């Protein structure tokens, strides 16, 4: 039998002073209450109740057990109430891992709105381009850009972005403009990478062919904003997400490097652990992001 049910039956008998009233309180038959209590006594190997024709009272052991049992039952009830409350009102600490550039450029400016809307939620945002293990590392969710690696997680697309090859007008005046993808090998490339050996750019040609550009790069940085700044300064050509460089493109600080080049689209996803129920704080934040980024992307940032 269920231990908690046995415990509840015993405690209710003590509270009500008998099996009949306990059965009425629990909404089950008197024989069922008696069976639960007998099973508990059998499992513990001790008599917990003194039973007479006139009254039922706890034994000395029963009194000691009742005190602990009542605490356990109260805690269980509070736990149920807590879950119910948290399901109805988003609250608690929301710990999330966020792709660095997206977090700095787009999330940081709007976090205040979210916290004002949900004052019972606090946020711990960890900026990292590493694919974290959500459950084992204690994260409630993550925001990732591009292909998802772990198919066991739940994901919701919140926006889309494209990759843009960009350089400053001054750079193109000095070094010329590449006309095709192979021409990039003759230019100063600014790489986004955490590896000093360089990175690989995967670019779609006008014919739809997937091409790879490998180069150690003239400058390698693991921060997108730094690469954008370097590109604006005329140091070379960078391959950046549109959410990062759209403003600089509008202002004419950088230009598309190769005219007519298809723009590879990448999804921006909120990912969270699988399960039947999504934590209210996670659901609230994802809904907030969808609301904030409605009408944005792939190039409209």
Q: Do 185 and 126 share a structural domain?
A: no
Residue 297 lies in a domain: no
Name the pLDDT band for 198 (thresholds 50, 70, 90).
low
Q: Do 98 and 60 share a structural domain?
A: no
Residue 20 lies in a domain: yes
**Three-class DSSP labels, the chain:** CCHHHHHHHHHHHHHHCCHHHHHHHHCCCHHHHHHHHHHHHHHHCCCCEEECCCCEEECHHHHHHHHHHHHHHHHHHHHHHHHHHHHHCCCEEEEEEECHHHHHHHHHHHHHHHHHHCCCEEEEEEECCCCCCCCCCCCCEEEEECCCCCCCCEEEEEEEEEEEEEECHHHHHHHCCCCCHHHHHHCCEEEECCCCCCEEEEEECCCCCEEEEEECCCEEECCHHHHHHHHHCCCCEEEEEHHHHHHHHHCCCCEECCCCCCCCEEEEEEEECCCCCCCHHHHHHHHHHHHHCCCCCCCCC
Name the pLDDT band for 146 (thresholds 50, 70, 90).
confident
Q: Do 78 and 48 share a structural domain?
A: yes
Query: What confidence score (pLDDT) does residue 150 get?
Result: 65
Residue 298 lies in a domain: no
Residue 300 lies in a domain: no
Strand partners, 161: 266
What pLDDT digit, counting tens, does each position of 43-71 carry?
A: 999 999 998 877 889 999 999 999 899 88
Q: Do 284 and 146 share a structural domain?
A: yes
Q: Tell which of 32, 55, 88 closes a domain.
A: 88
User: In the chain, how many domains are there?
Assistant: 3
What pLDDT digit, counting tens, does each position of 203-252 carry?
A: 888 888 888 887 767 888 888 999 999 999 999 999 999 999 999 999 99
Name the pLDDT band for 80 (thresholds 50, 70, 90).
confident
Q: Do 226 and 167 share a structural domain?
A: yes
Q: Do 97 and 47 share a structural domain?
A: no
Q: Do 51 and 74 share a structural domain?
A: yes
Q: Tell which of 33, 60, 88 closes a domain.
A: 88
Residue 287 lies in a domain: yes
Residue 283 lies in a domain: yes
Q: Do 194 and 58 share a structural domain?
A: no
What pLDDT digit, counting tens, does each position of 154-195 carry?
A: 899 999 999 999 999 999 999 999 999 999 989 999 988 754
Q: Tell which of 88, 114, 143 closes a domain.
A: 88
CATH classification of the domain holding 185? 3.40.190.10
Q: Do 132 and 280 share a structural domain?
A: yes
CATH classification of the domain holding 84? 1.10.10.10
Which domain range does residue 219 map to? Answer: 161-265
Query: What confidence score (pLDDT) does residue 149 get?
Result: 73
Q: Do 191 and 175 share a structural domain?
A: yes
Q: Do 279 and 195 share a structural domain?
A: no
Residue 222 lies in a domain: yes
Query: What confidence score (pLDDT) does residue 181 get?
Result: 92
Residue 301 lies in a domain: no
Name the CA dihedral angle for 116, 117, 122, 126, rounded to a multiple of 10 degrees: -90
Q: Do 71 and 20 share a structural domain?
A: yes
């Amino acid at each position: 039998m269920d231990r908690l049910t046995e415990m509840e039956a015993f405690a209710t008998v003590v509270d009500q002073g008998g099996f009949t009233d306990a059965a009425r309180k629990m909404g089950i038959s008197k024989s069922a209450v008696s069976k639960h209590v007998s099973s508990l006594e059998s499992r513990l190997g001790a008599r917990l109740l003194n039973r007479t024709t006139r009254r039922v009272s706890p034994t000395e052991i029963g009194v000691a057990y009742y005190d602990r049992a009542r605490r356990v039952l109260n805690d269980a009830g509070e736990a149920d109430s807590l879950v119910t409350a948290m399901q109805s009102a988003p609250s608690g600490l929301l710990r999330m891992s966020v792709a660095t550039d997206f977090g700095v450029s787009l999330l940081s400016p709007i976090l205040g709105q979210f916290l004002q809307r949900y004052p019972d939620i606090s946020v711990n945002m960890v900026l990292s381009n590493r694919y974290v293990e959500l459950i084992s590392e204690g994260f409630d969710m993550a925001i990732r850009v591009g292909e998802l690696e772990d198919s066991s997680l739940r994901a919701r697309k919140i926006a889309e972005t494209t990759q843009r090859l960009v350089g400053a007008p001054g750079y193109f005046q000095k070094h010329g403009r590449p006309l095709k993808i192979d021409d990039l090998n003759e230019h100063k490339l600014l790489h986004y990478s955490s590896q000093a050996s360089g990175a690989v750019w995967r670019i779609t040609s006008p014919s739809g062919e997937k091409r790879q550009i490998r180069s150690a790069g003239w400058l390698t940085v693991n921060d997108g904003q730094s690469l954008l700044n370097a590109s604006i300064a005329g140091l070379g050509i960078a391959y950046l997400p549109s959410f990062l460089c759209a403003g600089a493109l509008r202002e004419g600080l950088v230009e598309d490097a190769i005219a007519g080049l298809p723009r590879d689209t990448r999804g921006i996803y909120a990912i969270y652990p699988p399960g039947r129920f999504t934590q209210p704080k996670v659901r609230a934040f994802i809904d907030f992001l969808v609301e904030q980024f409605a009408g944005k992307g792939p190039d409209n940032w």
